[in-house]
Each structure stands twice: as structure tokens, then as C-alpha cells.
Amino acid sequence: MGNPSVLALAFDLDGTLVDSAPDIGHALNQALHESGLRGFALDRVRAWIGDGPDPLIARALAALGQAEADPALRTALRAAFDRATLAAPLAHGTVFEGIDALLQQLQPNWPMAVITNKPTALARAVLDAAGLLPRLAAVYGADVAAMRKPAPAMLQQAAQQLGVAPQQLLMVGDSAADMGAAAAAGAPAVWAGWGYGLLHALPKAPRWRIDRPDELLPILGA
């Protein structure tokens, strides 16, 4: 059944499976507040999402004029961000419409993994709160900087665990980092047009673009 060239799927998390920007914004602002710093509006935070919490915090500090902030402050902010995320992983955001139905339909025939620049513990907490964790064979988070997309390492590891070649693992994501990781791994990619990324900002147009989750099904021949 399906597209014989695709044997497994890898999904980005934030902006692809879940509209988690409100939760990320809440966790960031909580962390900033605990350190006596001002927070930011959701629209500003949404534009910073995609590279994980440490770059997010760095962008917030730069916007506050503290690009050269003491490492101890960065460490405190990251610890507070993680605490706030784990305390309420998806209290403010939501699963994108159509995602749960899509994963339910795909699960019997395509093993699926999440590949995210969010650390694994935080990613699993969000997926669990979203009710999506049971549909997934694996979750890969960027627990060290070298793993972050657009590096191909997480996609390569997922392909190995799922028992497919990288060329048979379809990456679905909403950011340049997702498309870059797929290109670096030699994997095909689909642009999720409902997410946070800007298609015109990509250096190269992806092979496929979808604007609703169910538009993935014809690509897979489902």
C-alpha cells in the first residue's frame, strides 16, 4: 500500500504537529520574569521558534540588549524554561486540526518518529499532553547542540531505528531547519504550510508543499 519510495515518516513537533507557540511563549516569559526581566508578546516569540530553547533564550536576551549576558543567567533561564514547560506542556496551545486523524490513519502502515530541536524530555511531555505519543515509534530531541536541525544526525538515527534508508524517510516540517536536515540526510521532505515558517525564506523550494494535514495522504498513496 502507498508510495513505495516512502516507508516511514518523521514529523517536526512545534509548528507541525502542535501549535505550541503559546506554551513556548508562556515558558519563556515565566523564565524571564523569574530573573527580573520583561517578557515578550506571542507574535514576537513565534518568530523565534524552531531552533530549541537555548537559541530562543539567546534571541530574547539579544532583544533585551543583553546579548552578552552572563552564562549563569542563561543557565538560570534555561532551567526555569524547562520547569515551566514540564509543569504545563500544552496548557495554552493545541494539536493542529487534522493531525490526530492523520496519525491515526498512517500508524498501521508507516512507522513514525518526531524529530525536533526541542530537548527529548520536553518533547515527550508535549506529545504526551497532546495525546500523540502512543502513535509514534520514536522521539528524537536535540539534547546537545550538534544534534540540532539542520544537522542530519537525528534523521539518520531515526532511519536506522525504523529500519529504513534515509531516502525512504519522509520529513514533514515547517522550517528551513527541517528542510535543511532532510537535504543533508538525503531524505525527501514536505513543507507544512500551516506552521510558523516562511516558505519564501527557503533557499530552495521543497518538492512538496501541503496546506492541510490530510494533503499528505495523496503523496503517500494512502
Q: 176 and 140 share a domain?
A: yes
**Is 1 a domain residue?**
no
Tens digit of pLDDT for each residue in 158-210?
999 999 999 999 999 999 999 999 999 999 999 999 999 988 888 888 889 99
Q: 26 and 12 share a domain?
A: no
Q: 109 and 169 share a domain?
A: yes
**Is 39 a domain residue?**
yes
pLDDT at 200: 83
Q: What is the CA radius of gyration of the chain?
A: 17
Q: Could you list the residue range(s) of the whole structural domain that residue 164 is in? A: 8-19+94-220
**Is 3 a domain residue?**
no
For residue 100, give the C-alpha cell.
490526530
Q: 115 and 198 share a domain?
A: yes
- Predicted confidence band of residue 2 (pLDDT cuts 50, 70, 90): low
**Is 116 a domain residue?**
yes
pLDDT at 106: 97
Question: If you write DSSP's letter for every residue of 96-128 in order, what string do you get?
Answer: PTTHHHHHHHHTTTS-EEEEESS-HHHHHHHHH
CATH number of residue 117's parent domain: 3.40.50.1000
Q: 98 and 82 share a domain?
A: no
Q: 123 and 113 share a domain?
A: yes
Q: 101 and 173 share a domain?
A: yes
Q: 70 and 180 share a domain?
A: no
**Is 122 a domain residue?**
yes
Q: Is 12 one of the annotated active-site residues of the chain?
A: yes
Catalytic residue among 12, 14, 51, 54: 12
Q: 105 and 197 share a domain?
A: yes
Minimum mean pLDDT range among 1-5, 43-47, 149-153: 1-5
Tens digit of pLDDT for each residue in 53-97?
999 999 999 999 999 989 999 999 999 999 999 999 999 999 999
pLDDT at 127: 98
Measured CA to CA, the distance from residue 75 to residue 125 in angstroms comes to 21
CATH number of residue 70's parent domain: 1.10.150.240
What's the rounded mean pLDDT across residues 141-155? 97
Q: Cis omega (within 30 of 0) on the bond before 55?
A: no
CA 139 to chain centre: 11
**Is 153 a domain residue?**
yes
Q: 190 and 98 share a domain?
A: yes
Q: 70 and 120 share a domain?
A: no
**Is 2 a domain residue?**
no
**Is 203 a domain residue?**
yes
End position of a domain, from candidates 87, 119, 136: 87
Measured CA to CA, the distance from residue 119 to residue 132 in angstroms comes to 17
Q: 117 and 172 share a domain?
A: yes
